[in-house]
């Protein structure tokens, strides 16, 4: 029987990380709030007591649920009658393991930003911690929350594409095309191996690209060859990666991720080609999925339209033509998490149709980064996954 068996209503959520100036913390807060499924009630938003207090006050957290120390937060919240049922971890990568461990061991569900950890060793430790816990572990590979990504996945699964032959996936940005300003918090930790981990672009966005391809196609990558670069002088992590992929069953792929592609904003794009049809989805225009049956014509399938699969319809809120975006997709991950957390109250399994990225996906991501780095160090030799 779950210790949260008696809970009803919105899920009480805590947050670790996400203090003033952080981007992704604010995104998680909106995502949790958008559908009314979560109430943020506690937080250790910063490891600096002063910053933690100021950040908490700014977003209206009560002082007695504000912490500077995540371990203390985990301990105390676990004891409170109205303590948090789940925690969102939005720290730099190197903190994911130590933070998650404290909450998992106390049965508090974890919603963790990606990549899972900075290193493969940490990822394995985190897996061990999760396996020992009853709590759920949800990884916010948020792009899997887009309805038309669900649509793409459903169409592959129902055989519309035939046998998959090719995967072309890319995630291009330009925000690190030059050495960042010293006060750019986002850039600061992401370009620091101690906090970001072994991968730069590969970890930050390459893992998203890989996960998206995996999520839509279901294909298991078996090996990769990666050519990593650090174009900006002095940079210690990759800021661009060219990766060849081979999948079980013979499909092949290319993955490109870059933080130095001048003019690119958040150009995550997936194209998949099978024996019967292809598909094309772009996160910068996310309400459309272009489906290209062999022999044509191409079809523009729009979110929430009559042509869509129930798998995508269940994650939309508004009619076709009214665009939903990044935050709604992110909220869909929180929504899926809420379904699972509510089921867990009574010990039920995750309901049918509810899908979210888990620790296993996170481990794949960190394995991908590790493989990229090893392959690149060996002049882009093939490395097994």
Binding residues among 176-195 for a copy of itself as defined by CB under 8 A: 177-178
Closest CA to 312 of 142, 153, 140, 138: 153
Report helix angle 207-217 to 147-157, nearest 10.
50
Site for a copy of itself in 39-58 (CB under 8 A): none
d(CA 326, CA 33): 14
Site for a copy of itself in 85-104 (CB under 8 A): none
Give me the least distance between CB of 37 and a copy of itself, in Å please.
10
Could you say which of 147, 221, 278, 335 contacts a copy of itself (CB under 8 A)?
Answer: 278
Strand 164-172 with 221-229, pairing = unpaired
Three-state DSSP class for residue 338? helix
d(CA 241, CA 231): 11
Q: Are 258 and 230 in contact (CB under 8 A)?
A: no
Q: In this complex, which beta carbon is closest to a copy of itself, that of residue 101 or of residue 190?
A: 190
Site for a copy of itself in 304-323 (CB under 8 A): 305-307, 317-323
Report helix angle 326-345 to 24-34, nearest 10.
60
Closest CA to 237 of 118, 112, 362, 120: 118
Could you say which of 58, 134, 265, 348 contacts a copy of itself (CB under 8 A)?
Answer: 265
Site for a copy of itself in 201-230 (CB under 8 A): 225, 227, 229
Query: What is the DSSP track for 193-249?
Result: HHHH-S-SHIIIIIHHHHHHHHHHH-PPEEEEEEEEE--STT--S-SEEEEEEEEGG
Could you say which of 156, 242, 316, 372 contacts a copy of itself (CB under 8 A)?
Answer: 242
Could you say which of 123, 176, 264, 372 contacts a copy of itself (CB under 8 A)?
Answer: 264
Binding mask 281-300 for a copy of itself (x = CB under 8 A): --xxxxx--xxxxxxxxxxx
Could you say which of 12, 28, 29, 190 contacts a copy of itself (CB under 8 A)?
Answer: 29
Could you say which of 277, 315, 369, 373 contacts a copy of itself (CB under 8 A)?
Answer: 277
Counting residues that bind a copy of itself (by CB under 8 A) gives: 88
Site for a copy of itself in 354-383 (CB under 8 A): 379-380, 382
Closest CA to 87 of 12, 20, 10, 195: 12
Hey, how many other C-beta atoms are within 10 angstroms of the C-beta on 300? 12
| 325: contact with a copy of itself by CB under 8 A | yes
Give me the least distance between CB of 274 and a copy of itself, in Å please.
6
Asked if omega into 49 is within 30° of 0 (cis), the reply is: no
Could you say which of 147, 246, 340, 369 contacts a copy of itself (CB under 8 A)?
Answer: 246
| 335: contact with a copy of itself by CB under 8 A | no
Q: Are 195 and 124 in contact (CB under 8 A)?
A: no
Could you say which of 2, 7, 21, 35 contacts a copy of itself (CB under 8 A)?
Answer: 35
Which one of 34-42, 123-131, 348-356, 364-372 is the stretch in contact with a copy of itself (CB under 8 A)? 34-42
Q: In this complex, which beta carbon is closest to a copy of itself, that of residue 133 or of residue 302?
A: 302
Site for a copy of itself in 106-135 (CB under 8 A): none
Site for a copy of itself in 146-175 (CB under 8 A): 161, 165-166, 168, 170, 173-175
Could you say which of 81, 182, 234, 263 contacts a copy of itself (CB under 8 A)?
Answer: 263
**Angle (nearest 5°) at CA 312 between 309 and 318:** 115
| 59: contact with a copy of itself by CB under 8 A | yes
Q: Are 14 and 42 in contact (CB under 8 A)?
A: yes
Could you say which of 54, 154, 187, 244 contacts a copy of itself (CB under 8 A)?
Answer: 244
Give me the least distance between CB of 119 and a copy of itself, in Å please.
26
Give me the least distance between CB of 53 and a copy of itself, in Å please.
17
Tokens (6 digits) for 349: 């399994």
Asked if omega into 115 is within 30° of 0 (cis), the reply is: yes
């Amino acid at each position: 029987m779950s210790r949260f068996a008696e809970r009803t209503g919105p899920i009480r959520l805590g947050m670790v990380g996400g203090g003033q100036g952080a981007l992704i913390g604010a995104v998680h807060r909106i995502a949790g709030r958008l559908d009314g499924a979560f109430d943020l009630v506690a937080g250790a938003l910063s490891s600096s007591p002063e910053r933690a207090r100021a950040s908490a006050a700014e977003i209206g957290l009560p002082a007695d649920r504000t912490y500077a120390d995540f371990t203390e937060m985990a301990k105390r919240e676990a004891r409170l009658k109205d303590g948090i049922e789940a925690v969102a971890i939005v720290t730099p990568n190197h903190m994911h393991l130590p933070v998650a461990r404290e909450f998992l061991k106390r049965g508090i569900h974890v919603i963790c930003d990606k990549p899972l950890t900075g290193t493969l060793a940490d990822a394995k430790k985190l897996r061990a911690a999760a396996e020992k816990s009853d709590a759920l572990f949800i990884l916010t590979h948020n792009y899997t929350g887009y309805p038309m990504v669900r649509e793409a996945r459903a169409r592959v699964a129902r055989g519309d594409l035939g046998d998959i032959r090719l995967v072309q996936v890319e995630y291009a940005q330009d925000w690190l095309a030059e050495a960042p300003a010293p006060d750019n918090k986002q850039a600061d930790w992401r370009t620091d191996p101690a906090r970001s981990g072994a991968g730069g672009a590969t970890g930050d966005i390459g893992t998203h690209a890989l996960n998206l391809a995996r999520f839509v196609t279901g294909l298991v990558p078996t090996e990769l060859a990666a050519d990593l670069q650090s174009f900006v002088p002095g940079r210690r992590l990759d800021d661009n990666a060219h990766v060849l992929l081979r999948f079980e069953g013979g499909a092949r792929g290319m993955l490109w991720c870059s933080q130095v592609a001048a003019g690119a904003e958040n150009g995550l794009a997936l194209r998949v080609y099978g024996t019967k049809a292809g598909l094309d989805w772009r996160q910068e225009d996310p309400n459309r999925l272009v489906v290209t049956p062999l022999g044509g014509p191409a079809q523009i399938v729009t979110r929430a339209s009559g042509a869509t699969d129930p798998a995508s319809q269940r994650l939309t809120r508004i009619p076709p033509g009214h665009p939903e975006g990044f935050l709604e997709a992110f909220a869909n991950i929180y929504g899926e998490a809420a379904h699972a957390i509510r089921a867990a109250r009574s010990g039920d399994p995750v309901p049918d149709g509810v899908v979210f990225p888990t620790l296993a996906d996170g481990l794949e991501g960190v394995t991908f980064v590790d493989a990229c780095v090893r392959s690149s160090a060996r002049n882009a030799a093939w490395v097994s996954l």
